[in-house]
Chains A and B, each alone.
Chain A
């Protein structure tokens, strides 16, 4: 089962994330789990989340990047759900061996992510926080999907990203029977 954990506080106003989501949401064996719809008051049901995670073989964290990090509710979800003794630490093997795919978008153009650009660092410099979270929980880190310039990306470019995303998931599904 593919578990798509989606964190977007204002999905209805979204362009890039909506296009990415619509490209994959109809895939078989995919469970769509929109965190902001499920927990508008941020009262995360940890047991339910962990049960869901147990059933997943591929976990997708899909969200726009805000201030170089996931939106607040997904950050809270990391804190509440990925607990010691469950996701890491002694006896914390619940997620071991699962695949993890990060799908994110940024507002800035790719050029902003370099020395001298608006964000001063290559985008690779912002990846380790999420990547290491997955690895600390013994998940297999997949090559992330990143869409830059989401505010003004043209439709053709966006469609191309969306198609690649869908192809990645289909390939994964075939590889995992």
Chain B
């Protein structure tokens, strides 16, 4: 692809996405449908701006890989092991039930039995991209229905590999694949490779890279890691997405998890968008126009049969009765694996070209129909009052308090909170610091707290408090700006390095500010007064008074602090006033303690 056409394509894709997705969102259709429509519009059957649907689809599939990696990061091994029952039990049940129903349907539609079986199983698989993205948009991934759906998608990712391998065997000629035992050895070696990389190599490597403090190299490494694992899996004939998922799970308990999430998430979003655009582009409207009735029948058959299958098995998978239709709507579409299987099946002369085109179009349209089906399922549920409010099902595993900066200042705050059993998440960008602290069993994450994506990953939307203990003034202010703008409900407690910083923070509406040396200086001042013979309690009163006046002076200076000359003059008059006040105070005291007497 020439450089010019690469940029031109990027222009087309980004332009289409920027126009269509917000529009789709505006009409409540969700981003997935927006991307699909964008794809239809720019594709060969729309404006014809881009022709290469197949290669774009292939490239966009990497978005699915990144998505699985991110999902893996959210799960650790323990939770994955808890899921194994629903993955293998629920997944195989779904494949069997839906595969049988769809194969029977296709048989009735006139396909030969082995073709019907291959295509039926292929269509029994759902689209991880569409389903997960839709669940993401509705915060369903943590809910029981989302977990059941995800377990099934995970099983399909595993099942796709033997299916793709076995389809040629159903056909007249077997493809020139490796013998079974060699395949198995390769697969095992690749999985072992992923485990070694994820478990033992990545953390030290990331630590070294983090120490260089070049942020884009960390991003580059994160992408390199996922692409590398994807390639390794491809070499072994396994699913790229599955490998990335495994790597994500292995890194879920690492301190770099949030940084990885933050770095990968934008790429995932864009590539997944590209994937949906490519699906939209690959809908063959020629077929649609030639045989609209048959296609409509196939589409309706796919959604109906699969939906019924899902609806029937839902209770066995722990889906609540009120969520059965939602569950069916989430998974009723055909998936990206179907495209691959159809391609392989046609290669093996199992599927006539006409059928391949028809089924591919039906699957693509079923993906496009998913957001609408989900909306219908919600409407249905709303009318029957059976769906709980979405908020209730969100699983909240995030900490109550985020502490940005884990130096001498943040550590004291954190230790105090931990001693009180408060759940905290700490963000710091000094890898040495993190390594040390982790040894003591604290939960610390590596990353630059001034990035919105990292804040999101750390759970800023769910947290109650943000403690800004960063020692860089610019970073501290940037973080406060970001937090106030994006998470207005988050209460901020800030450390100020100096008076100017205090002013900047106050100007931003932060009220809980401590100047980092002020209180300890006051303490020393008290100790000095005591050493000179002042009783401790009087020294305290004196210091309290001093603090009050000092803060009042700062507040008076606040409106003028940007005006250098004025603020200087005011600082002087403030000091003069303070002296005056203290003198008055001393006089008042000697008066009080004088002739009148005291108990």
Stretch at the interface among B29-37, B74-82, B374-382, B535-543: B535-543
Q: Is the CB of A40 within 8 A of B597?
A: no
Q: Is B485 an interface residue (CB 8 A)?
A: no
Q: Give complex CA distance A16, B537 in Å.
A: 19
Further pairs besides A12-B538, A13-B593: 16, Cβ < 8 Å: A9-B537, A10-B537, A11-B535, A12-B593, A13-B598, A14-B598, A16-B598, A17-B599, A36-B537, A37-B536, A40-B540, A41-B540, A64-B599, A106-B599, A150-B599, A151-B597
A and B contact pairs by CB, cutoff 8 A, 10 listed: A10-B537, A10-B593, A11-B535, A12-B593, A13-B589, A13-B598, A17-B599, A37-B537, A40-B537, A150-B597
Assess A13 versus B540: contact at CB under 8 Å? Given A36-B535, A152-B597.
no
* Chain A residues whose CB sits within 8 angstroms of the CB of B592 once the complex forms: 13
* Chain A residues whose CB sits within 8 angstroms of the CB of B535 once the complex forms: 10-12, 36-37
Chain B interface (Cβ < 8 Å from any Cβ of A): 526, 535-540, 589, 592-593, 596-599
Chain B residue nearest in CB terms to A64:
B599
| Cβ of A65 to closest chain B Cβ, rounded Å | 8
Q: Give complex CA distance A16, B538 in Å.
A: 19
Q: Is A163 an interface residue (CB 8 A)?
A: no
Q: Is the CB of B538 within 8 A of A151?
A: no
| Cβ of B438 to closest chain A Cβ, rounded Å | 32
Q: Give complex CA distance A97, B95 in Å.
A: 82
Q: Is the CB of A16 within 8 A of B599?
A: yes
Select A36's contact among B526, B536, B598, B599, beta carbons within 8 Å. B536
Interface of B is mostly: helix
Q: Give complex CA distance A107, B596 in Å.
A: 11
* Chain B residues whose CB sits within 8 angstroms of the CB of A13 once the complex forms: 589, 592-593, 598
| Cβ of B596 to closest chain A Cβ, rounded Å | 7
Q: Is the CB of B599 within 8 A of A105?
A: yes
* Chain A residues whose CB sits within 8 angstroms of the CB of B598 once the complex forms: 10, 13-16, 150-151
Select B538's contact among A10, A41, A64, beta carbons within 8 Å. A10
Interface size (A, Cβ < 8 Å)?
A: 23
* Chain B residues whose CB sits within 8 angstroms of the CB of A151 once the complex forms: 596-599
| Cβ of B368 to closest chain A Cβ, rounded Å | 67
Chain B residue nearest in CB terms to A35:
B537
* Chain A residues whose CB sits within 8 angstroms of the CB of B596 once the complex forms: 151
| Nearest 4 interchain pairs by C-beta | A13-B593, A64-B599, A40-B536, A36-B537
Q: Give complex CA distance A5, B437 in Å.
A: 44
Q: Give complex CA distance A14, B592 in Å.
A: 11
Q: Give complex CA distance A9, B526 in Å.
A: 16
Chain A residue nearest in CB terms to B592:
A13
Q: Is the CB of B599 within 8 A of A40?
A: no
* Chain A residues whose CB sits within 8 angstroms of the CB of B599 once the complex forms: 14-17, 64-65, 105-107, 150-151
Pick from B535, B536, B593 the residue with the most CB of A within 10 Å. Answer: B535
Q: Give complex CA distance A152, B595 in Å.
A: 9
* Chain B residues whose CB sits within 8 angstroms of the CB of A41 once the complex forms: 540
| Cβ of B593 to closest chain A Cβ, rounded Å | 3
Chain B residue nearest in CB terms to A65:
B599
| Cβ of B597 to closest chain A Cβ, rounded Å | 4
Q: Give complex CA distance A121, B539 in Å.
A: 37
Q: Give complex CA distance A10, B592 in Å.
A: 11
Pick from A11, A14, A40, A106 the residue with the most CB of B within 10 Å. Answer: A40
* Chain B residues whose CB sits within 8 angstroms of the CB of A64 once the complex forms: 599
Please, what's the 1-or-0 string for A49-78, where 1 marks a CB less than 8 Å from any CB in chain B?
A: 000000000000000110000000000000
* Chain B residues whose CB sits within 8 angstroms of the CB of A153 once the complex forms: 597
